Structure 1
Amino acid sequence: MIQEACLTRKPWNVEFTAHPEEVAALRRVVRLRLAAWNLHGLVDAAQLCVSELVSNVVTHVGLGTPGSLAVSVNGAYLRIEVHDPDTRALPTLVAADVEAEGGRGMALVEALTDRWGVQLHEDRKVTWCELATGLTPPAVPAVDLSVTRAEALLDMYATLRPPTCRYEPGLGRVGRTVAEESVIDVITDFLRWLRVHGCDADEVLDRAQSRYETLLSGSRR
């Protein structure tokens, strides 16, 4: 159980040139990768899907076509993608005759996988399929409403500030540098607001600090 939780399954992809001999090589790569990911039970089905999807490129797009194979674990599913540059030759699901030599490829993919489809882009198409892994999806962290409200307020302040700070991704739509300056602006403006309305700014800050420490202690339990 501990090994399963610590196992890292990083997405990977490999380029290939459409030739029949490439199919066997890609099958071996998939087998080794799934073994490293401790997904031994999916090896046979995944290899068959790779065979059919890559063979479709060889047969229907053409020998020598450059393509790529991408494999990833997306939540509770293993996702297999085959990319090729032809957006016209689309794989179709047909009811092939029992004695037919071809035409059953996507029917096999349909039977083996939980879902499959085709995505069209300007310069390529992506034929994909997904197989259930039986893994438990990672838990979604609880939403901290205080942080959500603060980020919304910081976003608003960022739009009011002159664009003098460098954008650094990492804190919602505002970067770390802009966010820190915006926090200072928020605190300063509220302190001025308290003074204008005759409130005790020090008392308000003390109460805010006490409430913050209470929230911290509660989140650590």
Structure 2
Amino acid sequence: MGDLRAALASHGITLPSLRPDLPTFAGTYEPPAGLIALGNCNAATARKLAAALRGSGRILLDLDLPATLGAVPDLRRTLRRCLGEPSADVQLCVTELVGNVIRHVGEGTPVRVRVARVEGGRVRVEVADPDARALPVLLHATGDDEAGRGLALLDAMALRWGVEQGVAGKAVWCELAEAK
């Protein structure tokens, strides 16, 4: 059990007690051998645990912030420091995804920005927000359109991208071949 705790701690995960709550069970419940009760984990811990168990890679940035135009330059600088290289592609993808939240969900919306190195040297960018209904749509903008190019740009740069929906919101993600 100590090895599990240590492995999860390396991903920033602390678990609640893994022992059954004896007053609750009062001898009427005998858990199966090896049962780990994780029902007391909050959503953030559950997300981190799921990412760690599926081998999501090394998290380079995990940041909660309000999606505002003023936050974008600081976010780009933070990305450069975290990646240790210019990483223009990663910065552009994060900027586009945060910009979409500002335009389609609303300025000041709380977002989580996560950047991780995953298998094969790829970089995964994920921007999560609390509105599960405002889904991204890939548009084909014409030369005269003033908007609608963000996801087309992301689609052209990324190896793949998608949306993970949950009851408390959504996460739009993309994976890049490497940080450039």
Per the normalisation by structure 1, the TM-score is: 0.53
Return the letter of the residue paired with 1:123. Answer: A
SS at match of 2:108: coil
**Offset of residue 11 of structure 1:** 4.1
Instruction: Give me the whole-angstrom Cα distance separating, in 2, the residues matched to 1:100 and 1:92.
Output: 15
**Offset of residue 12 of structure 1:** 2.9
Aligned to 1:24: 73
Instruction: Give me the whole-angstrom Cα distance separating, in 1, the residues matched to 2:63 and 2:90.
Output: 15
Instruction: Give me the whole-angstrom Cα distance separating, in 2, the residues matched to 1:113 and 1:19.
Output: 24
Matched, 1:50 2:81: no
Q: CA RMSD in A?
A: 1.7
Aligned to 1:108: 153
Asked if the contact 2:61–2:79 (Cα under 8 Å) also holds between the matched residues in 1, the reply is no
- Structure in which a larger fraction of residues adopt strand: 2
1:119 to 1:10, Cα distance in 2 relative to 1, 3 A: closer
The answer for unaligned runs of 5 or more in structure 1 is 1-7, 135-221
Per the normalisation by structure 2, the TM-score is: 0.64
Cα deviation digits, residues 71-128 of structure 1 (max 9, x gap): 1011121000001000111111110111211110000001111110000011010000
Cα deviation digits, residues 41-78 of structure 1 (max 9, x gap): 7x011111011000000000001111110010111210
**Offset of residue 9 of structure 1:** 4.4
SS at match of 2:144: coil
SS at match of 1:28: helix
Query: 97, 107, 111: which is aligned to 1:63?
Result: 107
Return the letter of the residue paired with 1:85. Answer: P
Q: How does 1:198-217 map to 2 (within 5 A)?
A: none
Asked if the contact 2:58–2:118 (Cα under 8 Å) also holds between the matched residues in 1, the reply is no
SS at match of 1:29: helix
Query: 88, 91, 94: which is aligned to 2:136?
Result: 91
Residues paired across the two proteins, number:
122
SS at match of 2:74: helix
Instruction: Give me the whole-angstrom Cα distance separating, in 2, the residues matched to 1:89 and 1:10.
Output: 26
Aligned to 1:15: 64
Asked if the contact 2:115–2:126 (Cα under 8 Å) also holds between the matched residues in 1, the reply is yes
Instruction: Give me the whole-angstrom Cα distance separating, in 1, the residues matched to 2:157 and 2:69.
Output: 22
**Offset of residue 10 of structure 1:** 3.8
**Offset of residue 16 of structure 1:** 1.1
Aligned to 2:117: 73
Aligned to 1:119: 164
Where relative contact order (Cα < 8 A, 6+ residues apart) is larger, the structure is 2
Asked if the contact 2:67–2:102 (Cα under 8 Å) also holds between the matched residues in 1, the reply is yes
